[in-house]
Amino acid sequence: MESGQIDFIAGGTVTSSRGFRAGATAAGIKKKAGPSLDLGILFSEVSCVTAGVLTTSQIKSAPVILCQERLVRDTAVAIVVNSGCSNVYTGEPGLADAREMTALTATALGSDPEDILVASTGVTGQRLPIDMIKDGVRQVVLSTEGGHELAKAIMTTDTLPKETAVIVRAGDDKFTIGGIAKGAGMIHPNMATMLGFLTTDAAVEPAFLRSALHQATDVSFNMISVDGDTSPSDTVLLMANGLAKNKTISADSPLAQIFEQALTQVCLYLAQAIASDGEGATRLIEATVHGATTMNDARLAAKTIITSSLVKTEVHGKNLSWGRIIAALGRSGAAVVESKIDIAIGGIKVVKAGRPLIFRKADILQVFEGKEVLIRVNLNLGAASATAWGCDLTSEYISINSQYRT
């Protein structure tokens, strides 16, 4: 194991990693007044070792099915993505459209279509407007700063782009990991209505890249929820082009641990950005559960708290009752004993050994004046801990989704 330093890059994005370029254009796929970026490409100047984590839904979008086929090869050179149309519930014609989308991109880049991955997000049940995509792909201009445009192009009901990057220094080695993501609604653990694209210029062995991505996803994207709904389009892709010229990282390499830590930091940043930008949200909810008997129990308990409609609405109303938290714990499926539960809200201890403590209501109200509400639970049964992130549930969420067309 080699020690090192991980630093976030100011203005970092998915093209902060060496050898990656991106760009986006307004192809007209989004049905909005005026031009809106809705088609983009992420490209590496050399072939990449590639890994992915895809939706757990039994019903999968055409792009997800195509990515499943191509990720078996462990290599890719580019990702093409559109917003405005998710190409889901479209059957074989939709799969043909996804293949055509990668073929058009391959022609523009001078690459093999099999080396192009694809993602789509937006309204469902409609065929991709291939003519628009054909024209749009030709218009995309790739640059090392294009990650910022790409982050905007994948947005749907998001209110802001989500992007970051870190630089890792360990001994004589230096490499970068960057990423972008989108998601605001239909967000629930075990992948959500989200897209995430990650890059690194580190040289990484394929099996370790897959393992590192799955581990990072488990503690980040799989620990967020906005509304409890999972999408058929969820996709997280990680491309490693090796241009940092480090010795290839494998599970037993000195750089393995710091690579996993850096990747997890990037994924956590993006996951929390998604949760805080939930549709109609005004506050981020962070729930940490300590003292669980197993990691699975810790995750179950934390996720049940942040997905509870009662907890979410009370956070919005600035009136969170500790009783709602205990109720969530009781139905979570995790092992709990009422007489052992401790709870703090915003650093204020409200429950000890399952019984309420005396606290000032004014202190609790002060907690809700910020943009984050921190819930800390200790089950006092074991040593496992986990954290989950969600957001409050507002009337704006109902308004957005009651008007959203499929």
* CA dihedral for 107, 112, 115, 117, sign (positive or negative): positive
What's the pLDDT tens digit per position in 256-298?
999 999 999 999 999 999 988 877 778 999 999 999 999 999 9
Catalytically annotated residues = 193
The mean pLDDT value of the chain amounts to 92
Q: Domain spanning 5-276: which superfamily? A: L-amino peptidase D-ALA esterase/amidase (3.60.70.12)
Q: Is residue 377 pLDDT above 90, yes or no?
A: yes
The domain defined by 284-403 folds into Ubiquitin-like (UB roll) (3.10.20)
Q: How many Cα atoms are found within 13 Å in the side-chain-facing hemisphere of 283?
A: 26
What's the pLDDT tens digit per position in 126-175?
999 999 999 999 999 999 999 999 999 999 888 899 999 999 999 999 99
What's the pLDDT tens digit per position in 167-192?
999 999 999 999 999 976 545 545 54
CA angle centred on 213, ends 288 and 392, rounded to 5°: 35
Task: Tell me the three-class secondary structure of 65-82, residue by residue.
Answer: HHHHHHHCCCEEEEEEEE
Residue in 154, 156, 155, 220 with CA at minimum distance from that of residue 190: 220
What are the structural domain ranges in the chain?
5-276, 284-403
What's the pLDDT tens digit per position in 310-368?
999 998 888 888 999 999 999 999 999 999 999 999 999 999 999 999 998 888 888 88
